[in-house]
Amino acid sequence: MQTGKIIKSNSGFYDVQLANQKIIRTRARGNFRHQKIKPIVGDWVECDQGYLLRIKPRKNEIVRPLIANVDQALIVMAAIQPSFSSNLLDRFLVILESQSIAPLIYLSKMDLLDAKCSTELKQQLHYYSQIGYPVFLSEQLNNPLKLKQALAQRETVLAGQTGAGKSTLLNHLIPNLNLATNSISNSLNRGKHTTRLVTLYPFQQGLIADTPGFSSLTLQAITREQLPQLFPEFNKLSLHCKYRSCVHLNEPDCAVKQAVAAGKILPSRYQNYQQFQAEIAQKRPVYSKNNKRSNSNK
């Protein structure tokens, strides 16, 4: 019996890195399929004679990208081509916060901005660093020591939209990878997929994962009441709201709305929060078969 971590999954085969750094290729036992158990990259597993026998409990799991047991996520956003989206950035932050995964922010393609746009974007990113999110810029890659220190001895997943530059960043950090990169589609303002699989690579005594990109992201199972807690600056201010259950929308004497009016909260940040609340309110409740059966018996 051997224990290791799945570092790559492809067409029913799973590459497992053992404690001695050896990598073995395995397949899942047939009863995994019958029990609807799906191994994913990042899983700690027990294996023997080329078969996965058991998946250990996961400390966390991200659906997009599909990966488990990560310490932190480096959100790779493009400054341009495709255009920077604070809405997409805040979606990533909210989803990672809900999974207790520490987010870091990396802005690629800063060199393609003119001086005015660069200054404006840096001012916006300064707000994120003030509320506790580490921010790194592509123009700092000539001396990437701080970024490497932030990734060292941790399991990190790179997440971001297609064409944002995840593979380009990994090629810079680990030159011998030679990952394929591609340009964006000018007509759609989004990138062309080059990474097809989630793969973990050894890096700085830790692991780092490249992932397929995408252009949209849902809020999964986040509730209306949970959402305010996933905005760190809102969570701190909520202690001063009139109502303990304040969700910072229509309530009177709301400390968050007062901070927005006073310019202490980034306007786009609160606008994105309002949109997320509206999306959550429109979600239909999901009823399981067990609930339907128990309701029919009443």
Binding positions for GTP are 108-111, 160-168
Q: Which residues carry a binding-site annotation?
A: 108-111, 160-168, 241, 246, 248, 254
Peptide bond into 82 cis (omega under 30): yes
Cβ-contact 55, 45 below 8 angstroms = yes
Q: How far apart are CA 94 and CA 219, in angstroms?
A: 8
Q: Which residues carry a binding-site annotation for Zn(2+)?
A: 241, 246, 248, 254
User: How open is the CA angle 59-108-104, to the nearest 5 degrees?
Assistant: 25
Which residues are CB-neighbours of 267 under 8 A, at least 6 positions away?
260
User: Is beta strand 102-108 parallel, antiparallel or unpaired with respect to 72-78?
Assistant: parallel
Q: How far apart are CA 116 and CA 124, in angstroms?
A: 13
Q: How far apart are CA 172 and CA 208, in angstroms?
A: 13
| Token output for 65 | 């990208």
Q: How far apart are CA 128 and CA 41, in angstroms?
A: 29
DSSP category for residue 69: S
Biggest alpha carbon–alpha carbon distance for the chain: 68
